[in-house]
Amino acid sequence: MTDGAHPHDPSPRDALTHDAQAREAATREAATREAATHDAATYDAATHDAATHDAATYDVVAVQDKWLPVWDEMAPFRSGEQGDDRPKRYILDMFPYPSGDLHMGHAEAYALGDVVARYGVQQGFDVMHPIGWDSFGLPAENAAIARGVDPRTWTYENIAVQRESMRRYACSFDWDRVLHTSDPEYYRWNQWLFLLLFERGLAYRKPSLVNWCPHDQTVLANEQVVGGLCERCDTPVTKKKLTQWYFKITDYADRLLDDMAQLEGQWPQKVLTMQRNWIGRSVGADVTFVIEGRDKPVTVYTTRPDTLYGATFFVVAADSDLAAELAAGGPAQAEFTTYVEKVRGESDIDRLSSDRDKTGVFLHRYAVNPVNGQRLQIWAADYVLADYGHGAIMAVPAHDQRDLDFARTFGLPVVTVVDTGAEDPATSGVATTGDGAMVNSGSLDGLGKAAAIERITGDLEDRGLGRAAVNYRLRDWLISRQRYWGTPIPIIHCPACGEVAVPAEQLPVELPPAEGLDLRPKGSSPLGAAEDWVNVACPRCGGAARRDTDTMDTFVDSSWYFLRFVSPRRDDVAFDRALVDQWLPVEQYVGGVTHAILHLLYARFVTKVLHDLGLVGFTEPFRRLLNQGMVIMGGSAMSKSRGNVVRLSDELAIHGVDAVRLTMVFAGPPEDDVDWADLSAHGSARFLARAWRLSGDVDSPPGADVTAGDPVLRKATHRALDEVGRAVETFRFNVAVARVMELVNAARKAIDSGCGPADPAVREAAETVAVMLSLFAPFTAEEMWSRLGHQPCVARAGWPAVDPTLLVQDSVTAVVQVAGKVRAKLTVSPSIGEDELRELALASDGVLRALDGRAVRTVIVRAPRLVNVVPG
């Protein structure tokens, strides 16, 4: 396994050697023939074998095989070494799940991350670009169940395969920092983190409704519910009430929201918006209603306290405790029970269907409107959610569509209290939510919305009946899973002492061997059956107690892994504070938009908790975020059922690593989806061979003085350096590649029909191409560098300094327009004066012809680029 041979991934070399001998003669013959002319080089990865590579033949496979061991030896991307005084920069790619070999999506993501990391190195930074594996979790466990093997075996075998693939893909990772979240050395600190939160009341247990698959008899994570169906068996998912562990992320809702100001412009707008919506802060008021026949009043939350006079009924969430209590013993008891059962059994699919009919049960109880004493019928309905606000609402049908739909279904009264000028909701069926003058609202009459809200909120507060309030859509983070392959929750349940933390010196609580355990999902954790493991003495009283048998959501593992990378081998602390201070926050985070909410929100939350405990000195973990798009094929996501899966290993075998990487980077803006069908890895390969050929054509010694070199080519070289640098810094990688291509074309032209191969400017251009290509096509770059007479690694060669004097043009083209249309082009000095340019323009043939005798009204001059002549 360690050498990368894997049943899923036949090595490209193997595929090639079969017919190698048969091709050898033909290849050698062709090579001899081609060597006769300087430009007849070939590039054909699929039909080459290493034995016959020739000076004029770019043998991709041979080049890959040549440099990998050299790089292994040199470890050019090792970071944070003693005495390294380069400034530090932390570039992070989201770490993978070890599910099978790397696929096209990984190929894109890691190619992009590599551009950023390698550019940092060339710019002289000590770049930390670590990698690890998010190796706990359901994919491994399910695969292990399906194959009847230990999840450990499956996981670590896959890691070995992926690791070797990353090596061959020439990812610029610091291999000394590798971590796996399923190692006890890692998850020990997961448990430490859990206890940190537990001791501060930020980790707690509560009963709540969770996703439940009736077929598999298991709790499902939100991510496992796809379109309302269980992702594995396609059974409609329902809800079940279970006691689960939560992290109190809601305590941080405001800060998660407010701190986004730091990320504005640095993170994709889309992600910030998604997080904002997910947190969903809304501002309104709590209002207290007396319930007839109940001692304690009930509070509701509303964003429209101004419409209080329009409340005509009252609704409680059908599945809430309050509803059950209000129904108990009443005339609607039986009807209510039936209704709740129906609601509970309802699948998400039903709940998701839009414009479904409103349902509910009148409980024959009444609430009293605090402002006018009106008796309001209390209904139980499923359109009110138990876990938002207070699980009960005042219904204002005139000004809320949902309430109006409900009122019309059950014939409840509609009272308009805001005159918006629109048709009466009672007759139109359309609730009016806009602004307008208050009516039927006592002292509020005549006020506008904002004023009315302020007035009524103040009044309610004065009378002790309510107050301004804020609510969030964000719910606490459910972190427990009834599964085997995860971090055991370090809690011991003692009949006498309750929930007791496992003492720090007893960490890690290691996962018991899977052998003998039934891992199949059954609604409770498989760990419950590991009797020797479960039964322990209570750390507090010494009495018989049981371990918590749940494991943690893997999002806990990934919520802090970026901290572990600074000191992955430390066994006394989760992370070295001094090193964290040196390296973090992460300068650039690269990963898929799939994690726009969950992972990124959790990581932000945990960072803030650690900050509050004085363990880190910052509040946001990731300064900049780049979300790459997906790799699709023929217009849709790759899937086996569609039969459009492109195998990365196949593409690498056909085109070579560099060509695949370059294709990914050149395809378009990194955040856009790339359709592999629209792209040409073959074209990329052709370009790389063209670039490589330059290095063989150069006919001047290394270190030749370039100052006397061809100024035209030198200018092209320095312009490329300048523009590629800026394009990379702004993530316009596709443009950066285009600029490198332009330089290659310019150098080709200089060699063939310009200054010739002996001019040192050609060497300068070729060397610059090699350095720039080291970001995108490391093998080709290294090979060029070597052929140009340099020692490896080109990746550490350093970005050449741009000579600003070479960015200045000798002459520029001035565009001359008449009435905005281009009529002439003048070649002028870049320092031409406005008056001189105006003269030249007015005297040009194109202008005279276009004016055709007409008078000139105005002349706009923007020297040296543009003149616009406006006729009278």
For RNA, the closer of residues 21 and 745 by Cβ is 745
Tell whether residue 726 is a contact of RNA (CB under 7 A): no
Name the nearest CA neighbour of 660 among 642, 674, 648.
Answer: 648
User: Least distance from C-beta 837 to RNA, angstroms?
Assistant: 13
Q: What angle do CA 465, 467, 470 make, to 5 degrees?
A: 140
Sign of CA dihedral 326, 329, 333, 337: positive
Output phi, psi for 174, to 5 deg: -90, 100
For RNA, the closer of residues 652 and 747 by Cβ is 747
Which pair of structure tokens corresponds to residue 820? 């905005």
Sign of CA dihedral 91, 97, 102, 108: negative
Which 150-169 residues touch RNA, going by CB under 7 A? none
For RNA, the closer of residues 284 and 526 by Cβ is 284
Name the nearest CA neighbour of 107 among 177, 165, 44, 175.
Answer: 165
User: Least distance from C-beta 557 to RNA, angstroms?
Assistant: 21
- The DSSP code for 85 is -
Are 50 and 61 spatial neighbours (Cβ–Cβ below 8 Å)? yes
Partner residues linked to 284 by β-bridges? 469
Tell whether residue 352 is a contact of RNA (CB under 7 A): yes
Of the candidate residues 15, 20, 35, 40, the single one contacting RNA (CB under 7 A): 40
For RNA, the closer of residues 12 and 864 by Cβ is 864
For RNA, the closer of residues 74 and 735 by Cβ is 735
Of the candidate residues 200, 356, 375, 642, the single one contacting RNA (CB under 7 A): 356
Are 601 and 243 spatial neighbours (Cβ–Cβ below 8 Å)? no
For RNA, the closer of residues 545 and 740 by Cβ is 740
For RNA, the closer of residues 523 and 669 by Cβ is 669
Q: What is the C-alpha to C-alpha distance for residues 511 and 506, in angstroms, rounded to an integer?
A: 13
Which pair of structure tokens corresponds to residue 770? 């090699």
User: Least distance from C-beta 668 to RNA, angstroms?
Assistant: 3
For RNA, the closer of residues 302 and 558 by Cβ is 302
Taking contact as CB under 7 A, which single stretch among the options 184-192, 300-308, 435-443, 761-769 is the one that binds RNA? 300-308
Q: What is the C-alpha to C-alpha distance for residues 114 and 396, in angstroms, rounded to an integer?
A: 56
Of the candidate residues 398, 545, 674, 724, the single one contacting RNA (CB under 7 A): 674
Tell whether residue 822 is a contact of RNA (CB under 7 A): yes
Q: What is the C-alpha to C-alpha distance for residues 680 and 659, in angstroms, rounded to an integer?
A: 9
User: Least distance from C-beta 35 to RNA, angstroms?
Assistant: 12
Tell whether residue 555 is a contact of RNA (CB under 7 A): no
What Å distances lie between residue 341 and 320, 323, 336, 815, CA to CA?
12, 13, 9, 76
How many whole angstroms from its chain centre is CA 9?
27
Tell whether residue 858 is a contact of RNA (CB under 7 A): yes
User: Least distance from C-beta 312 to RNA, angstroms?
Assistant: 13
What is the residue type of 805?
A: T
Tell whether residue 418 is a contact of RNA (CB under 7 A): no
Q: What is the C-alpha to C-alpha distance for residues 622 and 587, in angstroms, rounded to an integer?
A: 6
Partner residues linked to 338 by β-bridges? none
Tell whether residue 868 is a contact of RNA (CB under 7 A): yes
Helical (H) or strand (E) element with 65: helix 60-74
Tell whether residue 302 is a contact of RNA (CB under 7 A): yes
Partner residues linked to 858 by β-bridges? 870
Which 12-31 residues touch RNA, going by CB under 7 A? 26, 30
Name the nearest CA neighbour of 394 among 379, 410, 408, 409.
Answer: 379
Site string for RNA, 604-633 (x = CB under 7 A): ------------------------------
User: Least distance from C-beta 319 to RNA, angstroms?
Assistant: 11
Sign of CA dihedral 585, 591, 595, 597: positive
Are 791 and 698 spatial neighbours (Cβ–Cβ below 8 Å)? no
Tell whether residue 369 is a contact of RNA (CB under 7 A): no
User: Least distance from C-beta 180 to RNA, angstroms?
Assistant: 28
Tell whether residue 696 is a contact of RNA (CB under 7 A): no
Which 748-787 residues touch RNA, going by CB under 7 A? 748-749, 752
Tell whether residue 351 is a contact of RNA (CB under 7 A): yes
Tell whether residue 820 is a contact of RNA (CB under 7 A): yes
For RNA, the closer of residues 368 and 741 by Cβ is 741
Tell whether residue 274 is a contact of RNA (CB under 7 A): yes
Of the candidate residues 42, 208, 524, 829, the single one contacting RNA (CB under 7 A): 42
Burial of 321 (0-12, 13-18, 19+ CB in 10 A): exposed
Of the candidate residues 354, 641, 791, 831, the single one contacting RNA (CB under 7 A): 354
For RNA, the closer of residues 160 and 597 by Cβ is 597
Tell whether residue 43 is a contact of RNA (CB under 7 A): yes
Number of residues that bind RNA (CB under 7 A): 93
Q: What is Dmax (Cα atoms) for the chain? A: 108
Are 768 and 698 spatial neighbours (Cβ–Cβ below 8 Å)? no
Which 101-130 residues touch RNA, going by CB under 7 A? none
Which 303-342 residues touch RNA, going by CB under 7 A? 303-304, 317
Q: What angle do CA 718, 783, 760 make, to 5 degrees?
A: 40
User: Least distance from C-beta 46 to RNA, angstroms?
Assistant: 9
Q: What is the C-alpha to C-alpha distance for residues 94 and 112, in angstroms, rounded to an integer?
A: 12
Burial of 317 (0-12, 13-18, 19+ CB in 10 A): buried
Which 373-402 residues touch RNA, going by CB under 7 A? 382-385, 388-389, 391-393, 396, 400, 402
Of the candidate residues 76, 297, 683, 792, the single one contacting RNA (CB under 7 A): 683
Q: What is the C-alpha to C-alpha distance for residues 272 and 278, in angstroms, rounded to an integer?
A: 10
Tell whether residue 846 is a contact of RNA (CB under 7 A): yes
Site string for RNA, 732-751 (x = CB under 7 A): x-xx-xx--xx--x--xx--
Are 241 and 207 spatial neighbours (Cβ–Cβ below 8 Å)? yes
Write down the residue that tokens 């103040």 correspond to: 458
Which 171-230 residues touch RNA, going by CB under 7 A? none
User: Least distance from C-beta 793 to RNA, angstroms?
Assistant: 26
Taking contact as CB under 7 A, which single stretch among the options 254-262, 780-788, 802-810, 854-862 is the one that binds RNA? 854-862
For RNA, the closer of residues 193 and 867 by Cβ is 867
3-state secondary structure of 319: coil
Name the nearest CA neighbour of 98 among 132, 135, 149.
Answer: 135
Tell whether residue 599 is a contact of RNA (CB under 7 A): no
User: Least distance from C-beta 831 to RNA, angstroms?
Assistant: 16
User: Least distance from C-beta 730 to RNA, angstroms?
Assistant: 8
Exposure letters 363-392 (e unless 16+ CB within 10 A, then b): bebbbbbbbeeeebbbbbbbbbebebbbbb
User: Least distance from C-beta 694 to RNA, angstroms?
Assistant: 10
